Chains A and B, each alone.
Chain A
Amino acid sequence: MAADVSKLEKTPTGIDGFDEITNGGLPAGRTTLICGRAGSGKTVMALEFLINGAQQFDEPGVFIAFEETLEELTQNIASFGVDLAELERTGKLAIDHIHVERSEIEETGEYDLEGLFIRLASAVDSIGAKRVVLDTIEVLFAGLTNQAIIRSELRRLFRWLKDKGLTAIVTGERGEGALTRYGLEEYVADCVVLLDHRVSDQISTRRLRIVKYRGSAHGTDEYPFLMGEKGISVLPLTSVGLTHGASAERISSGVKDLDAMLGHKGFFVGSSILVSGTPGTGKSSLALSFLKAACERGEKALYFGFEESKAQIIRNTGSIGLDLQPFVDKGLLHFNNVRPSNLGLEAHLASMLHIVKQTNPNVVVVDPISNFLSSADQGGVKSMLIRLVDFLKMRQITTMFTHLTSLGGPAEHTDESVSSIMDTWLLLRDLEHDGLRSYAVSVLKSRGMSHSHELREFILSDEGIHLGAVYNRRTAVMR
């Protein structure tokens, strides 16, 4: 008997990332409490659990709505492109709106909540439901006065759900100093999930934490999550760690002379590359050459741009001999250009991961990462970058990040925080000598290869990028 304890059965939620952090989903045949303040995403998460159950796992579900009417629910979820009415028609979902309003009810003497049980049971039986959501059952505490009856009936309800083998979610409003206002956590022993929605610096971040999961290992971190067009996605990246493989394969940087500086072979596949430099030193051009080289090999390339529009990039790169349009037409090169301030960091990361998953590229460019510094604190940026780098490495995607360093300061200064997570670091500089301004490139580091320590002239011509002679220390003035 005891042997079975280790094998806790789980019900997948189908929620992006959630099943990963819980090693498979919610405890099957048990009740899970999702708590959080108003607007933290409880209802959406619970609904998504049912919708995915109905659509992906052939498990019909019942939604008992204490707060929202069917119309309101339908509207809330409409943006996710899900037709609740259609799911109801096809017997995959049953929704019952239960309205309890204290001012309309007089209480006298003994009663029980059998009416609720009957409604729930008839909804469950009508479609052979395997999943149930009660959102949010604490409305009963506000609607009825006899707390003793409610509490004993809730206990009976949770036992009933368990006896029926239903995998259930109950939602609860966050209370002061307690998980829920009415202590629902007392009744739910198996799994408790806490949702949080914070706003700092005008940017909102949603986070999720598994407070308790009896009999199962689970991540204990706060995981950022996104409520996007396709519903909730949780970012389980902090748990990825350093388990990614290391490829011995090499790919070209897109500049032949630069490959020569990198042990004559270029970058390692799946490595992360940082290109830093002051404005106008050619970071984007180098990054785009890198993408173009990948496309020429028939690989897929993805560009995340935070400064210029796609049209602008294609026009500008034409002037340095990089014709990117054919690769866009072939579907090899994808552009994703947004302003970083439009979204919070977490939202950004989530949408980037989503796009990477969709396009499945071999190489990625993020141009530039310094723009994120404008949207949040350095620590936040770094943790986001670590998660992004881990994610890309897991997929053996070679990624180039550009970083704009400020004029005047030491070129290497601002990059310290991110350089540790990068395998290769290229520095582009602006040099003045003999009344002329020119650019130079050097390899500050490149893990796992013997690389050149030379400072080479970096030349942007209408035939692309090539490198010039090694700089003579006496004639060049660095800035």
Chain B
Amino acid sequence: MAIKTQTTAVPANPEDKSTTWLLRLYVAGQTPKSIAAFNNLKRICETHLKGLYQIEVVDLLVNPQLAKGDQIVAVPTLVRQLPPPVKKIIGDLAKEERVLIGLDLKSAQS
């Protein structure tokens, strides 16, 4: 799947903002790692957050100035903008288990 640099919004219930997950994925060009990260994220969201999420992909090669705001050092970095608090997960999101823990969709103990 190709990465769009603009918002890919799939809100299931636009009225209920509180349940919307806003996920921002920072990448640097369409590298195998960024494509893998996007695909992994999409899959995880479809499985666990179907209809509740919104993914925004930021390509830092296009918008380098956006790296400062979310303190991006590593790429790919996934930032959970909503719900608060802000969470960061770096890497290609290959391990679903770790991603779920990072997003607080699963507690670290279970």
What residues make up the interface of A, taking CB atoms closer than 8 Å to B? 96, 98-100, 104-116, 118-119, 121-122, 140, 143-144
In the assembled complex, the Cα of A235 lies from the Cα of B26 at a distance in Å of 48
Among residues of B, the one whose C-beta sits closest to the C-beta of A146 is B91
What residues make up the interface of B, taking CB atoms closer than 8 Å to A? 26, 28, 33, 36-37, 40, 60-61, 64-65, 67-68, 71-77, 86-95, 98-99, 101-102
Q: A99, A106, A108: which contacts B71 (Cβ < 8 A)?
A: A99
Among residues of A, the one whose C-beta sits closest to the C-beta of B27 is A114
Q: Which residues of A contact B93 (CB under 8 A)?
A: 108-109
Contact B28 A115 (CB under 8 A): yes
Contact B71 A111 (CB under 8 A): no
Q: Which residues of B contact A119 (CB under 8 A)?
A: 64, 67-68, 72-73
From B65, B67, B73, B99, name the one whose CB has the most chain A CB atoms within 10 angstroms: B73
Q: Which residues of A contact B76 (CB under 8 A)?
A: 111
Contact B65 A122 (CB under 8 A): yes
In the assembled complex, the Cα of A161 lies from the Cα of B61 at a distance in Å of 19
Contact B90 A107 (CB under 8 A): yes
Contact B60 A114 (CB under 8 A): yes
Q: Report if A100-B73 is in contact (Cβ < 8 Å); known contacts: A108-B99, A118-B67.
A: yes
Contact B73 A106 (CB under 8 A): no
Q: Which residues of A contact B77 (CB under 8 A)?
A: 111, 115
Q: Which residues of B contact A109 (CB under 8 A)?
A: 36-37, 40, 91-95
Question: How far apart are A69's CB and chain B's nearest CB, in angstroms?
Answer: 12
Question: How far apart are B76's CB and chain A's nearest CB, in angstroms?
Answer: 6
- What are 23 A-B pairs at a CB distance below 8 A? A98-B71, A99-B71, A105-B90, A106-B87, A106-B88, A106-B98, A106-B101, A107-B91, A107-B98, A108-B102, A109-B95, A111-B33, A111-B74, A111-B76, A111-B77, A111-B90, A114-B28, A115-B26, A118-B60, A119-B67, A119-B72, A119-B73, A144-B90
Among residues of B, the one whose C-beta sits closest to the C-beta of A150 is B74
Q: B40, B61, B95, B98: which contacts A118 (Cβ < 8 A)?
A: B61
